[in-house]
Structure 1
Amino acid sequence: MDEPETVEPRVLDRFSDDELTVINRELEDAHPSEILRWADDTFGDRCIQMSSFAIDGMAIFDMYWKVNPKARLATLDTMRLFEETYDLMDRIARRYNTEVEVHYPDIREVGRMIRQHGMNLFYKGVQNRQLCCEIRKVNPLNIALNEADAWITGLRRDQGMKRGEIDIVQKDLAHDAYKINPVANWTAEQIRQYAIDNKVPYNILHDKGFPSIGCAPCTRAVKPGEDERSGRWWWESDPDAKECGIHTVSATT
């Protein structure tokens, strides 16, 4: 008689929905550094911070590194980033004596996409842009999170749209991992003030009118008073579609 197959326990079975509700209640008013301490104590080196190297992520990493100097920091190099972003990666690696885990898209997928749709396909419609984001960001993220039980983001509720609904700790169903949003309750001004007070290196594009920074062809400076994410995919009319896919609410609960 064949032995029954062993079923690996799911990461998301670690906490029940009721337990997660209690955790979120306890962390709701906690300082981001306390939330990061909880994440490090709970998940250890199976917790990883994913960052686009915007100022939010740099402030978080400064706190995370102070909790654990061996904290893991990773990024998705879409191969279309700003020069200033690459410069900041090097500065962060030197400042914190850390190795940034860089994940790249599959060059074969990128080549196939460009042959079929062109180099700047993202300007030709939302579906094309989402395809580019999927190949350059979502797919590499899936690989990066194979080695993680939890990942840390820089999402904030005051960024609006669907981000206004996020919890501190969420279940990421797509990756069988927990998603931790330590600055969910912070504002852009609090982030910037923390960076100034703690001399955190940040992307100089933030001083040139770029509150949100992504790929170079898809990011522009914004005017005073404009929403901070209005510089992302500015040619698209539907604000709810302005996500790259790595933070879709449908993948979390």
Structure 2
Amino acid sequence: MEKERLQYLNNELIGLTLAEALALVVSTVKGKKVFSTSFGIEDQLLTHYMAPLAKDVEVFTLDTGRQFNETYEVFQRTQDKYPQLTINTFIPEQGDIAAYVNQHGINGFYDSVDNRKECCRIRKVKPLQKAIKGASLWITGLRAEQSQNREDMQFLEWDDANGLVKYNPLLHYSLKDVEAEVEANNIPVSSLYKKGFLSIGCAPCTRALLEGEDFRAGRWWWENGKKECGLHIHSDKNY
């Protein structure tokens, strides 16, 4: 989609409700449309609004094989609440995992940033490529306040790395906004959330936040600097 068209749509989205904005984007962007969920609170809110669009948007999740059991529990509760949605699951190549473990050990991602990024590549990035193959639109639960890396994003951006439009409908939502809508609509949330796990990834790489810590501090807490797994790398090439 050309730059001018994306900017036009971004302007059209200003002031719309979440339901209105999703409906407009889904009806306007042609081709295969996908929504990725990790069952965090933001994704759960979007899943609620995605249910009426079940015929138009494919929903998927990435099962890394190292998830919390609580994540599987909320997965099941979500399927029970929204039976019209089919949540497709994508998993890593077992050969990749075996090769990684043989070379680095089962928890080798603690040893270096490069090892951790390679684990993320195998367990997340490669399965993601399968999930979004052929898609023209990828809907995500990213919010601007989650990290400094995301503050300059727009609702709709061209994802140069994946060759599609990325749509971030919750971009300007605060966490309180998300929590209020989730509570009002009785949307399932992981039991870990109330225990301080605001950003939930793989079990070995996620801990609860301590008082006053940044939203992303619980992810890869043994590392310094920017903390991203490679799924959502913001590029200056994006519109």
Q: Same fold (TM over 0.5)?
A: yes
Whichever residue aligns with residue 6 of structure 2, its letter is L
In structure 2, C-alpha distance between the alignment counterparts of 1:45 and 1:224, rounded to whole Å: 44
Deviation string, structure 1 residues 9-59 (Cα, Å, up to 9, x no partner): xxxxxx321221121122133322222112221246711110111010000
Does residue 32 in structure 1 map to residue 18 in structure 2?
A: yes
Pick the aligned partner of 1:53 from 39, 60, 75: 39
Partner of 2:6: 20
Distance 1:252 1:156 in 2: 19
1:163 aligns with 2:150: yes
Q: Secondary structure at the match of 1:174?
A: coil
TM-score scaled by length of structure 2: 0.94
Q: Take 1:82 and 1:252, find their aligned partners in 2: how far apart are those partners?
A: 35
Q: Report how far residue 82 of structure 1 moved.
A: 0.4
The aligned counterpart of 2:122 is 135
Quick check: 1:94 aligned with 2:84? no
Q: Equivalences for 1:118-129 in 2 at 5 Å?
A: 118-129=105-116
> Is the Cα–Cα contact under 8 Å of residues 144 and 152 in structure 2 kept in the other structure?
yes
For 1:138, what is the secondary structure of its paired residue? helix
CA shift digits 1:88-141 (9 cap, x unpaired) = 111111111022100001110111011011111111111110000000000000
RMSD over aligned Cα, in angstroms? 1.5
Structure with higher helix content: 1
Runs of 5+ unmatched residues, structure 1: 1-14
Give yes or no for the alignment of 1:247 onto 2:223: no
CA distance 1:187–1:101, shift in 2 (3 Å):
same
The one-letter code matched in structure 1 to 2:229 is C
- Percent identical pairs in the alignment equals 37
Contact 1:105/1:140 (CA < 8 Å) preserved in 2?
Answer: yes
Contact 1:173 1:251 in 2 (8 A): no
Instruction: Structure 2: give runs of 5+ residues left out of the alignment.
Output: none
- Worse-matched range after superposition: 87-96 or 191-200: 87-96
Corresponding position of 2:159: 172
Within the alignment, does 1:78 sit opposite 2:72 as a pair?
A: no
Q: Which stretch shifts more, 24-33 or 138-147?
A: 24-33
Distance in 2 (CA, whole Å) between partners of 1:248 and 1:173 is 10
Deviations 1:192-244 (A, max 9, x none): 11000000111111011111100000000012221111100000011x2x000
Matched, 1:221 2:208: yes
Alpha-carbon separation, structure 2, partners of 1:127 and 1:100: 31
Q: Which amino acid aligns with 1:244?
A: C
Q: Contact 2:35–2:60 (CA<8 Å) still a contact in 1?
A: yes
Q: Distance in 2 between matches of 1:88 and 1:75?
A: 12
TM-score (norm. length: structure 1): 0.89
Counterpart amino acid of residue 23 in structure 1: L
Amino acid of the structure 1 residue aligned with 2:19: S
Whole-angstrom CA distance in 2 between matches of 1:18 and 1:181: 18
Moved more, 57-66 or 73-82: 57-66
The 2-side partners of 1:173 and 1:148 are apart by 13
Aligned length: 236
Letter of the 1:93 partner, please give it.
Q
